[in-house]
Structure 1
Amino acid sequence: MKNFGTNAVSRHHSTVTKKSLSGRLNRMLVQRSLVAAMLAALCYAPAGYTQSTSATQNLPTLGDTSREDLSPLAERKLGEQIMNVVRNDPDYIDDGPVSEYLNRLGNRLLDAHPDARGEAAYNFEFFAVRDPVLNAFAFPGGFIGLHTALLLTAQTESELASVIGHEIGHVAQRHIARMLTSQKFDSYIPLVALALAVLAARSSPDAAIAVAAGGQGVAIQKQLNFSRDAEREADRVGFQILSDAGFDPTGMVTFFGRLQASTRNYTDNAPDFLRSHPLTSERIADIQARAQTLRYKQYADGLEFFLMKSRVRVLQDTTVQGLMDAKQAFELQLKSEREVDQIAATYGLAFVACKQRDFVKASTLLEDAKAQTARSSSQKHVLELSSAFDSLSIDILSGSKQFDKASNEAAHAIERLPLSRGLVYQYVDTLLEAKKEAAAGVFLRDQLVLYRQDAKLQKLLAKVYAAEGKQALQHIALADALAIQNNWSGALQQLDIARREKDAGYYELSVIDANERDWKESHKEELAEERKQRR
Structure 2
Amino acid sequence: MKPLTHPTSPPARSRWRRSLAVLLVSVTAGVVPAAAPAQSFNNVPSSARLPTLGDTAREDLSPIVERKLGEEIMREIRRDRDFLDDDAIGEYLNNFGGALVDAVPGARGETNADFTFFPVRDGAINAFALPGGFIGIHSGLLLAAQTESELASVVSHEIGHVSQRHIARMLGQQRQDALLPLASFILAALAAKASPDAAMGVLMGGQGLAVQRQLNFSRDAEREADRVGFQIMSAGGYDTSGMVAFFKRLQSANKVYGEIPAFLSSHPLTSERIVDIQARIRETPYRQRPDTIEFHLAKARARVLQDLGTTARRDTRTTLQSQLAQQHRQQQVAAQYGLSFLSLKEGDLAAARSWFDKARATMRPKEGVFSAAPASDGGAMFAVLDLEIKLAPGQPQEVIQQALRDAQAATNRYPLSRALARQYADAMINAGKLDDATRYLRDQVQLYREDPKLYDLLARAYSKQGKIALQHMALAESYVLAGALPAAVDQLNFARKASDVSFYEQSVIDARERELKARQKEEKEEEKGR
TM range (shorter): 0.7 to 0.9
Q: Which amino acid aligns with 1:125?
A: T
Alpha-carbon deviation of 1:212? 7.5
Moved more, 309-318 or 242-251: 309-318
* Residue of structure 2 in register with 1:393 after alignment: 386
Whole-Å Cα distance in 2 between the matches of residues 191 and 453 of structure 1?
24
* Residue of structure 1 in register with 2:289 after alignment: 299
Length-normalised TM-score, structure 2: 0.82
1:396-438 Cα offsets, whole Å, 9 max, x none, are 2122342212222111111111111111112222232333322
Given the superposition, is the C-alpha separation of residues 367 and 275 from structure 1 closer, same or farther in structure 2, using an over 3 Å criterion?
Answer: closer
* Residue of structure 2 in register with 1:179 after alignment: 170
1:42-88 Cα offsets, whole Å, 9 max, x none, are 423899x999x9995464749847x5473111111221122122222
2:126 to 127, 130, 135: 135
Q: Which amino acid aligns with 1:436?
A: K
SS class of match (1:116): coil
2:330 is the alignment partner of 1:333: no
* Residue of structure 1 in register with 2:61 after alignment: 70
Given the superposition, is the C-alpha separation of residues 471 and 213 from structure 1 closer, same or farther in structure 2, using an over 3 Å criterion?
Answer: closer
* Residue of structure 1 in register with 2:472 after alignment: 475
Q: Which amino acid aligns with 1:393?
A: D
* Residue of structure 2 in register with 1:407 after alignment: 404
| Aligned counterparts, 1:15-54, within 5 A | 21=15, 24=16, 41-44=22-25
Q: Which amino acid aligns with 1:459?
A: D
Q: Which amino acid aligns with 1:169?
A: G
| Aligned counterparts, 1:122-521, within 5 A | 122-184=113-175, 185=177, 188=181, 219-264=210-255, 265-267=258-260, 277-319=267-309, 321-375=311-365, 376-381=367-372, 386-399=379-392, 400-401=395-396, 402-521=399-518
Given the superposition, is the C-alpha separation of residues 448 and 335 from structure 1 closer, same or farther in structure 2, using an over 3 Å criterion?
Answer: same
1:433-491 Cα offsets, whole Å, 9 max, x none, are 33332222122112223223322211211111222222221111112223344543333
Tell whether the 8 Å contact from 2:304 to 2:316 is kept in structure 1 after alignment: yes
Q: Which amino acid aligns with 2:348?
A: D
Given the superposition, is the C-alpha separation of residues 514 and 394 from structure 1 closer, same or farther in structure 2, using an over 3 Å criterion?
Answer: same
Whole-Å Cα distance in 2 between the matches of residues 190 and 396 of structure 1?
41
Alpha-carbon deviation of 1:515? 1.5
For structure 2, the residue ranges without an aligned partner over 5 or more in a row are 40-48
Whole-Å Cα distance in 1 between the matches of residues 184 and 503 of structure 2?
51
Whole-Å Cα distance in 1 between the matches of residues 506 and 134 of structure 2?
36
Tell whether the 8 Å contact from 1:162 to 1:242 is kept in structure 2 after alignment: yes
Q: Which amino acid aligns with 1:87?
A: R
* Residue of structure 2 in register with 1:33 after alignment: none
Equivalenced residues, count = 493
* Residue of structure 2 in register with 1:104 after alignment: 95
Alpha-carbon deviation of 1:150? 0.4
Given the superposition, is the C-alpha separation of residues 477 and 286 from structure 1 closer, same or farther in structure 2, using an over 3 Å criterion?
Answer: same
1:172-231 Cα offsets, whole Å, 9 max, x none, are 1111222334343459599959x99xx9xxx9xxxx9x9988666752332111333221
SS class of match (1:246): coil
Whole-Å Cα distance in 1 between the matches of residues 517 and 202 of structure 2?
42
Given the superposition, is the C-alpha separation of residues 99 and 347 from structure 1 closer, same or farther in structure 2, using an over 3 Å criterion?
Answer: same
Q: Which amino acid aligns with 1:499?
A: R
Given the superposition, is the C-alpha separation of residues 191 and 396 from structure 1 closer, same or farther in structure 2, using an over 3 Å criterion?
Answer: closer
Q: Which amino acid aligns with 2:156?
A: G
Whole-Å Cα distance in 1 between the matches of residues 183 and 440 of structure 2?
51
* Residue of structure 1 in register with 2:82 after alignment: 91
Alpha-carbon deviation of 1:260? 1.6
* Residue of structure 2 in register with 1:271 after alignment: none
2:71 to 80, 89, 105: 80
Q: Which amino acid aligns with 2:25?
A: Y
Whole-Å Cα distance in 1 between the matches of residues 381 and 271 of structure 2?
37
Whole-Å Cα distance in 2 between the matches of residues 46 and 512 of structure 1?
40
Whole-Å Cα distance in 1 between the matches of residues 208 and 302 of structure 2?
40
Length-normalised TM-score, structure 1: 0.81
* Residue of structure 1 in register with 2:109 after alignment: 118
Alpha-carbon deviation of 1:144? 0.8
1:26-52 Cα offsets, whole Å, 9 max, x none, are xx9xxxxxxxx9x875423899x999x
Whole-Å Cα distance in 1 between the matches of residues 92 and 64 of structure 2?
27
Alpha-carbon deviation of 1:520? 3.2
